Structure 1
Amino acid sequence: MTSMARTRVVIVFALAVVSAFTLLSTNIIIAQEKQKISWSTKPENTQYAFQHGLEIPDTPGHILRMLEIRRTWPDGGAPTVEGQKVAEEIARGVTDLVAGNGFGRGYSVWRFENGDQSFGEWQNSVQTIMNPDRSRKTTFVGTYVTTGGTGKLKGLKGVGR
């Protein structure tokens, strides 16, 4: 093979490698597309399946709580992932609160209408405002790491705030 022929083979091979890399990286970028997921729920649609609180005597109102909650969205407004609506969430975790303010962390399972599930880990800050009529408004702000799923959601990974 002549020197010129070898050069052409090397150039063609290099172009093939670059083309393959470009195609593969395009698929990876598409797979990492950002999606917004948000929802709200009514208090009556979140039920404690289990909770156990321990008073911490250092400050009045300081409670360390282990919990399991089950949440549904019978009136709509459920989170949707890849076109699938969440039918139920089961969250297990702990909170460390003083008068309703502090932090929480735990794990959750989202069961979708088609039976698939996704698994995640969450941590958040908790802020509770007491209204003059003694009603409360509690806000949770934090992060969520999706660690996997079943069915169509197998291999699902993600992070959220």
Structure 2
Amino acid sequence: LKSTEVVLLACGSFNPITNMHLRLFELARDYFHETGKYKVIKGIISPVGDAYKKKGLISANHRVTMAKLATKNSDWVEVDDWESSQSEWLETLKVLRWIVCESTAGGSGDRLFSRPYFSLYSPTSLKYLKYICFAGTIIKSFYLLSPLIVCRMLYL
């Protein structure tokens, strides 16, 4: 039985990033692997931008730099700085669309998954993007219904 390939995504302030943030990626990966149903192929950290206006928030540039330093030796967790570079605060769904579906917005659908972390995988092989939530619900699952900009939230 073939495992479903999964990408783990964590959005947040990462103010600053901690070892526990990275540990949560490992715990989530271990959980999915232990089910025998999933194969985690990538972890993505997406720090929020300065427009979030959280009291005491370190500049996005510094938080992204710290996150990149924290993940520099990882062969599977990396930092995406798109969200942090936006001039307005973004809802998580918009970040998900960027991570998975951005390349279809202004071009042909054959560019789907042209993002660096999807370049080795076909659109049909990656079925799930798992969202790691650091507060409240531990993990939410976003199921890609098709290779279009359509995502639906499912709860595990």
TM range (shorter): under 0.3
TM-score computed with the length of structure 2 as normaliser: 0.25
Higher relative contact order (CA 8 A, sep 6+): 2
TM-score, structure 1 as length reference: 0.24
Of Structure 1 and Structure 2, the greater strand share is in 1
More helix by share: 2
- Max Rg structure: 1
